[in-house]
Structure 1
Amino acid sequence: MQATSSMISYAETALDWGVMGTLGLMSVVTLWLFIERMMFFKSVRIEDYKHRDDLEMDLTDNIGIISMIGSNAPYIGLLGTVVGIMITFYSLGDIGTVDAKKIMMGLALALKATATGLVVAMPAIVAYTIVLRKVERILAKFDVAHEEV
């Protein structure tokens, strides 16, 4: 009984640090890449580029990572929820009694991972959309500048 209780405690700790830590890291990376891209866009000089493809490659550098984070953060949160529900059911089965309070607390803690995944994903998708629109605007300015020449 003591070993099972410590195993459940370890699983809950691993869930919190693993899933929530991964989502936290994804959030920091998204913010960092968004700020880096915005700083690059402010400093880019379209007259330094001869070919549109070279400019486009520099402008779109690392934005796929922002998109990937926005797409996958809900799945990581969902994984945390599934594992949290499994831990809840396992601990209830181990105790042998049905305790509504324990079930509700376990499910609420499990759903925290899904909510966090969504909280990470939504700003990442917004950041990706903003960055993509900025790329389109800079490329349009490049096209206009080269049509005049």
Structure 2
Amino acid sequence: MPVETLKSIVDYGIIGVLILMSIATFAYAIERWLYLRSVDLYRYPDRKLLELDLSRHLGTLATIGSSAPYIGLLGTVIAIILTFYVIGERKSAIQTGEIMKDLALALKATAAGLIVAIPATVFYNILMDRVDRLLTHWEIIHRSERED
């Protein structure tokens, strides 16, 4: 299989995975935000049931936030390995500009991984703060009910 074909497969595969992770990030973040805005704390007699409902999909956001940079880095490393392979295969002199162009393009996978990870981490932290506040509010509500 030609090296250029391998580069394309790696490039589109890694970027494709990161795009899917980005779509999942925004879908889960929007769904969770809407749910957390509308949750009825009086409907939950048990704190654990409330925690389960409030934290749904937050683990996925955390996983995306922590793994996206590694997926991007994997794409970069594979692209750099392929670039070095091409350099090693050439018998004639190679242009420095061509090498730099290939290496610069290899770094786009890492950048894409960071572009996915940063919003996922921000959304996760914002949503977890909201979950913590809702749980505290639930405890206040139910403490006052027990005292009555």
State the TM bucket, normalised to the shorter chain: over 0.9
1:45 maps to which of 17, 40, 59: 40
Q: Does 1:129 align with 2:125?
A: yes
Total equivalences in the alignment: 144
Is the aligned partner of 1:79 residue 2:74? yes
Shift of 1:16: 1.7
Residue equivalent to 2:84: 89
Read off the aligned partner of 1:134 and give its amino acid letter. Answer: R
Identical-pair percentage: 43
- Residue number among 36, 57, 63 corresponding to 2:31 in the alignment: 36
TM-score (norm 2): 0.94
Partner of 1:3: none
Render the CA deviation track for 1:41-69: whole Å, top value 9, x for unaligned.
Answer: 12210111001110001000110000000
CA distance in 2, matches of 1:36, 1:82: 34
Q: Is 1:111 matched up with 2:126?
A: no
* Range moving further from structure 2, 62-71 or 94-103: 94-103
What is the letter of the counterpart of residue 109 of structure 1? L
**TM-score under structure 1 normalisation?**
0.93
Task: Name the stretch that deviates more: 54-63 or 9-18.
Answer: 9-18
Question: How big is each residue's C-alpha offset from its partner over 1:112-145, in whole Å with a ceiling of 9 and x where there is no partner?
Answer: 1111111111111000000100100110110000
Counterparts of 1:107 and 1:135 in 2: how far apart (Å)?
43
Structure 1 unpaired stretches of 5+: 1-5
Q: Over aligned residues, Cα RMSD in angstroms?
A: 1.0
